[in-house]
Structure 1
Amino acid sequence: MSTIDGLPPLREVIATHGLSAKKALGQNFLLDLNLTAKIARAAGDLSGADVLEIGPGPGGLTRGLLASGARRVLAVEKDARCLPALAEIAAAHPGRLDVVNADALEIDPLARLTPPIKVVANLPYNVGTELLVRWLTPPVWPPFWQSLTLMFQREVAERIVADPGSKAYGRLAILAQWRCEARIVMRLPPEAFTPAPKVASAVVHLTALPAPRFPADPAVLERVVAAAFNQRRKMLRASLKGLAPDIEDRLNAVGIAPTERAEQVSIEGFCTLARALGG
């Protein structure tokens, strides 16, 4: 028996249902139910929340979320092979687990969720960053979610929490930290997964702020940041020259040296520049 519920151990579930991980789907299964329970706890108090989970696979994290008291879990799984295993979990937790067989990039889960909503997922590697960017750039803020607790490759996780001046600092750090508190809450070695990936992983917890840290038009800020980091080795007067013919004067006006490079500019600095360019 497992340590968190009356269902079989995950290795037995995988063997029973023939769930070998598919590389094409970015699958790496986390089989230790103690670790999946720890990830669920990292999301905070789930008792009054609906939880969106992407890519549950055989349901290890799903079981951790339910055992941690989630009011309801909506699990979106693209791989139909996993549905029978997830149906067994749903049967053990009547009314608390809904499973949708769909591509997470093509579904709008909001019609099936009731606020407050938290997102907790061991994201498939091949769609993780794209989903994060979508969740960080909604049409209106605050977003539909209170917090995101997400597994990424360690390199991606470090980019999310990176500070200015570091090699990892870039567009992802600015998108995340402009509107969220972001921190790494767990690190996992490759051998924690089946099959073991070639890289280490980490869990990032992001809490949505009521409003962005600094005022800026999101579309203008995104253009400025994208231009700056698309040519991050260049000085800003060169990388941003396509945004305004007098970019050197505008940089000087907001207190940013035109000779600086993108990774040297703080989030506040980028927001100040976005306001100047937007105006």
Structure 2
Amino acid sequence: MSLPPLREVIARHGLSASKALGQNFILDRQLLGRIAAIPGPLEGQTVYEVGPGPGGLTSALLAAGARVIAVERDRRCLPALAELEAAFPGCLTVIEEDALKIDEQSVVGDGGHVVANLPYNVGTALLLRWLEGPWRPWWRSLTLMFQREVAERIVAAAGSEHYGRLSVAAQWRARPRLALPVHRSAFTPPPKVASAVVHLVPADQPDGVDPNVLERVTAAAFGQRRKMLRQSLKGVPGALNALEQLGIAGERRAETVSVDEFVALARALS
């Protein structure tokens, strides 16, 4: 199906990216097609999209055969999305709402893919939300655009300068990979930073680990990351004994502790 250029759609509806909403539009349909292809074949699949804006990525997902449920809080974009609804009858549902307030499973069901050029100001909060709760999750995969620095934190290994709480939170429950770097010139307006798409699929959750305990341990460890573990974790009841039992030296610092070691520590404290 032939669709008008996105620049024309934006001009016709008098749209501009809102800094307050963390918006940056991608106009390159070839790039949008590459992003839509990252989860794999989408024919007949349900895709949940946050912040579709004028519908660039939405149109690529629809063209790939997906059924798209899109959440957009900026009502200025709704007329452009309505045009896509008309062009792909029965394939697009648009919900005007704040994505942080939606019960995704109630609108998407189980087994949907999430594909989104996330607004920068809520991207990390949404990722952490989707990594919470009972496991396995309602989503089959996450394909998400972040600032490059955030993307590198998500996939970072222990010992890396980017390794931290977000790395552990993502990697203990999912297998993340850096799928596609995106230059700032791909956006309108161009942001001040580079971006990247991260792809995550659920992993098997280790048994006997309380997520709240893992969060408490990593918050303490990385909250004082320059200190040795025996100092940063002394406020977590039982942590120093658990370090000794697991053979994790108290002289180490948080950035040297692997995801598996943090998980083992949380299991011992759970």
Q: Do they superpose with TM above 0.5?
A: yes
Q: In the aligned structure 2, how far is the partner of 1:229 from the partner of 1:111?
A: 35
Q: In the aligned structure 1, how far is the partner of 2:62 from the partner of 2:7?
A: 19
- Aligned partner of 2:74 in structure 1 is 79
Counterpart among 31, 50, 55 of residue 54 in structure 1: 50
1:167 pairs with 2:167: no
1:106 pairs with 2:98: no
Give unmatched runs, 5+ long, in structure 2: none
Q: In the aligned structure 1, how far is the partner of 2:58 from the partner of 2:168?
A: 30
Aligned amino acid, residue 216 of structure 1 = V
The answer (yes or no) to whether the contact 1:48–1:116 under 8 Å persists in 2 is no
Deviation at 1:121, TM superposition (A): 0.1
- Aligned partner of 1:188 in structure 2 is 182
Q: In the aligned structure 1, how far is the partner of 2:105 from the partner of 2:268?
A: 36
Q: In the aligned structure 2, how far is the partner of 1:114 from the partner of 1:161?
A: 27
**What number of residue pairs does the alignment pair up?**
270
> Tell me, what secondary structure is at the counterpart of 1:111?
helix
Deviation at 1:215, TM superposition (A): 4.7
> Tell me, what secondary structure is at the counterpart of 1:64?
helix
The answer (yes or no) to whether the contact 1:42–1:205 under 8 Å persists in 2 is yes
Counterpart among 199, 214, 232 of residue 205 in structure 1: 199
1:35 pairs with 2:31: yes
Aligned amino acid, residue 153 of structure 1 = Q
Deviation at 1:206, TM superposition (A): 0.2
Structure 1 range deviating more: 211-220 or 90-99 = 211-220
User: CA-atom RMSD, angstroms?
Assistant: 1.2
Q: 1:242-278: per-residue Cα shift (whole Å, max 9, x none)? A: 112x643331211110010111111111111112222
Q: In the aligned structure 2, how far is the partner of 1:249 from the partner of 1:208?
A: 31
> Tell me, what secondary structure is at the counterpart of 2:101?
coil
The answer (yes or no) to whether the contact 2:140–2:202 under 8 Å persists in 1 is yes
> Tell me, what secondary structure is at the counterpart of 1:46?
coil
Which structure 2 residues correspond to residues 81-230 of structure 1 after superposition, within 5 A?
A: 81-138=76-133, 140-209=134-203, 211-213=204-206, 215-230=208-223
Aligned amino acid, residue 117 of structure 1 = G
- Aligned partner of 1:267 in structure 2 is 259
Deviation at 1:228, TM superposition (A): 0.7
> Tell me, what secondary structure is at the counterpart of 1:202?
strand
Identity percentage of aligned residues: 61
Q: In the aligned structure 2, how far is the partner of 1:250 from the partner of 1:146?
A: 34
TM-score by length of 1: 0.94
> Tell me, what secondary structure is at the counterpart of 2:161?
coil
Give unmatched runs, 5+ long, in structure 1: none
The answer (yes or no) to whether the contact 2:154–2:167 under 8 Å persists in 1 is yes
Structure 1 range deviating more: 17-26 or 172-181 = 172-181
Q: 1:170-225: per-residue Cα shift (whole Å, max 9, x none)? A: 1111111111111011001111100000000000000112x225652211111111
Aligned amino acid, residue 151 of structure 1 = M
Instruction: Tell me which stretches of 4 or more aligned residues in structure 1 moved more than 3 Å.
Output: 246-249
Deviation at 1:112, TM superposition (A): 2.4
